[in-house]
Structure 1
Amino acid sequence: MQLSKSKNIGIGSEKEKKFGFNTIFKSKMTAILIATAALWILFTMLTDGNFLTTRNLSNLFRQMSITGVLAIGMCFVIILGEIDLSAGSTLGLLGGIAAILNVWFGFSAIPTVVITLILGVIMGAWNGYWIAVKNVPSFIVTLGSMLIFRGILIGITGGNTVAPLSSDFKAIGQAYLPTALGYVLVVLAIAGSAYLVLNNRKNKIKYNIDVKPMILDVFTIAGIGIVSLALVVILNDYQGFPIPAFIMLLIALILGFVATKTVFGRRMYGIGGNRDAARLSGINVKKHIIVIYSILGLLCGVAGILLTTRLNAGSVSAGQSAEMDAIAACVIGGASLAGGSGTVIGALVGALVMATIDNGMSMMNTPTFWQYIVKGLILLIAVWMDIASKNKK
């Protein structure tokens, strides 16, 4: 046993060789990151360098935060093997309610946010109830909710834009973190990634599981540090780290921990992998479905608040097709529509891809219909690649 463990520790051991650089470049996540870098280069060339200006990158991450928050919640639903077509309408309705509370009724930021998030949980639980308790397919339930919520939004606003917001509420979507705090986040990101990577390595060694060479873990930590520092330096060069992006990363950190380090997360993957086996093993499948749809409803509330405060208005068109961007982000990031697989970090990377396409094509003054066509093709190709990879296995 001791000999077996020692093989895992050394950098050049036989068990570690299978984790060489060829394996890295064959991974789906690496391919997505390379494709994203290629998109950035392409848009930089096509916009005469304007894409990589600090102002545009700050705007890009602000745009990404809305899709990213929505994609995190959608990822949980997709891992279950379900879907939610009402997320965009839920986002729009909750954003509209937040605007009404703030503009028409004079609520300050805190009560507006609290009420909006509570309503988001209720709306998510509504979907979960029909799916889990009444056994109506999630496609039908959320399709109906999409129409219901959009109709309610149009009805309560009278089809009008609700604006302008109060300064304290508007700050949620438009303010920036202090410059010094951005560098504190870099230190925390490096320390946190080092702990997670090294702790994961330690646990694998403890249970005699093959590990990657130590040099690759060091490269991972260093890469996270370099990217985090570069990101903060770039954003600080404009006005600072956007609060919406900070909220998105905070949510990703919390729910990423829930998905990978808790019993709830393991059961979620188990339900998505084999629902009957999960039920027979004693997992309360109905409860998990309702809770996860409630989480998505909560995140729809967050995304709705971010969008409304970013635009300084509540609009009847807010959130249209947002669920498609979220689903595409999840699939691009490695989630399978068959359930049982997907990660929060993958959903964020997918959201970055979708935001890059939106931002870059908008800077090129590309007609809106082409943006829909391109995103639709990307979703189709991503699903096809997922199915093809599973068929090979």
Structure 2
Amino acid sequence: MNKAKVMSFIKVNTMIIALILVTGFFVWQTGGKILLPQNVSNLISQNAYVFILATGMLMCILTGGNIDLATGSVVCFVGAVGATLMENSNVNWVISVILMLIIGTGIGAWQGFWIAYVRVPPFITTLAGMLIFRGLSNVVLQGLTVSLTNVKFIKMFGGGANCYIPDIFGVKGFNLTCMLVGITACIIYLIIQIRGRITKAKKGYDMTSLKNMIAKAVIISAAILAFSYQLASFRGIPTALVIVAIVVLVYGYITAKTTLGRHFYAVGGNEKAAKLSGINTNRIYFLAYVNMGFLAALAGMMTIARMTSAQPTYGQNYELDAIGACFIGGASAYGGTGKVSGVIIGALLMGVINLGMSIMGVDANYQKVVKGLVLLAAVIFDVISKKKNA
């Protein structure tokens, strides 16, 4: 019986355990360098676009394993338009941000229309979008680099050396505000877990054992506190992390707590049954790609802010990073299964692998090989699990 409980715990928390093991491996191989405060901060700043795009990609995958291959090109195109507006046309940065969001959302709606209402396969539609918007990016930038000089925009979207939340307590060498935010996050997480368990008990739902819940809560709380301590030891909370947190919380709530979120899972689980039950499946497909376009625009702004420039090559392979994070984080290749929290763990795992191998000096080509093998292993695990449960 105890063995069964252990196996159940491992199955439910496979990716968390994998993240801990991989991090431990790189701590050993790098002599602890991967956990230096600056590297932990860089892990967030450099992978912020993955967290954002993977959250949007999850919505597409939930509808039946569909993906958006145009994401990286849209990131580049939106960034190119925004940089050109701010630097070459002297458009106010706030107006430029609004226009970039409108453009990204419009692109998502354009692709969503063909996919949802004309039923052009998502692969073909977004492949066309990948080529179209990559080409338009070159047209807008005329093949050149546009440097960003707007300090407010750069700071707002996580670029530059001062893109951190200041410490309101003014402690030198340690950002106390960051640490208090981490402690508060742990308290909120524990309250949510306890309230959720009480609610399930009242309604008679199946629950994991109390020991498993406590073990998971201790591991996650310890990770949050350790992460907060490392950030506080450097410069504090990056503004990119604030944006990522808002996106994750909003979309996590939508997918887990709203009727609309349940519709995404229903469509991915069985589209015909969902349609017969009264769900507007076309609308769900459409909204998935509208969301993807919106988040691609946000990622585009964060990309040009971090790089303090716009180039025709930005965004290459971003869609593959987002897709990989989703599947590694537990999203099913068949649709209908996946959580935002899992996607974030998947993105963190990829980020740790990238950072760890970079510190070790592993050749970039071998890094791609490792990432490919990790992605393949995650999908194989999903396929085998489906067969066992069938």
> What TM-score do you get using the length of structure 2 for normalisation?
0.91
Matches within 5 A, 1:162-173: 162-171=146-155, 172-173=157-158
CA distance in 1, matches of 2:90, 2:340: 36
Aligned partner of 1:363 among 335, 353, 359: 359
Contact 2:78 2:104 in 1 (8 A): yes
Look up the match of 2:269.
273
* 5+ residue gaps, structure 1: 1-13
| Identity within the alignment, % | 35
The answer to whether the aligner puts 1:25 opposite 2:6 as a matched pair is no
Look up the match of 1:34.
17
Larger mean Cα displacement after TM superposition, 262-271 or 184-193 = 184-193
What are the superposed Cα offsets for residues 129-172 of structure 1, whole Å, 9 maximum, x if unpaired? 00011110000000000000100001110111110331111112
How far the C-alpha of 1:245 sits from its partner, in A, is: 1.6
What are the superposed Cα offsets for residues 157-206 of structure 1, whole Å, 9 maximum, x if unpaired? 01111103311111121301123442343244234323321232122222
Look up the match of 1:154.
138
Distance 1:204 1:382, change over 3 A: same
Look up the match of 1:52.
35
The answer to whether the aligner puts 1:263 opposite 2:259 as a matched pair is yes
CA distance in 2, matches of 1:49, 1:211: 38
CA distance in 2, matches of 1:84, 1:315: 21
Aligned partner of 1:142 among 126, 136, 152: 126
Query: One-letter code of the match for 2:209?
Result: P
Give SS of 1:240's match: coil
How far the C-alpha of 1:301 sits from its partner, in A, is: 1.0
How far the C-alpha of 1:19 sits from its partner, in A, is: 8.3
Larger mean Cα displacement after TM superposition, 334-343 or 104-113 = 104-113
The answer to whether the aligner puts 1:93 opposite 2:77 as a matched pair is yes
C-alpha RMSD of matched pairs (Å)? 1.9
Aligned length: 376
Aligned partner of 1:209 among 200, 205, 209: 205
Contact 2:148 2:305 in 1 (8 A): no
Look up the match of 1:373.
369
CA distance in 2, matches of 1:251, 1:227: 20
Matches within 5 A, 1:278-297: 278-297=274-293
Look up the match of 2:104.
120
Distance 1:259 1:19, change over 3 A: farther
Give SS of 2:146's match: coil
CA distance in 1, matches of 2:4, 2:295: 36
Contact 1:73 1:299 in 2 (8 A): yes
Contact 1:108 1:169 in 2 (8 A): no
Larger mean Cα displacement after TM superposition, 122-131 or 209-218 = 209-218
CA distance in 1, matches of 2:354, 2:347: 11
CA distance in 2, matches of 1:68, 1:326: 8
Look up the match of 2:247.
251
CA distance in 2, matches of 1:157, 1:181: 41
Query: One-letter code of the match for 2:63?
Result: L
* 5+ residue gaps, structure 2: 167-174
What are the superposed Cα offsets for residues 352-387 of structure 1, whole Å, 9 maximum, x if unpaired? 111122222222333322222222222222212211
Query: One-letter code of the match for 2:224?
Result: S
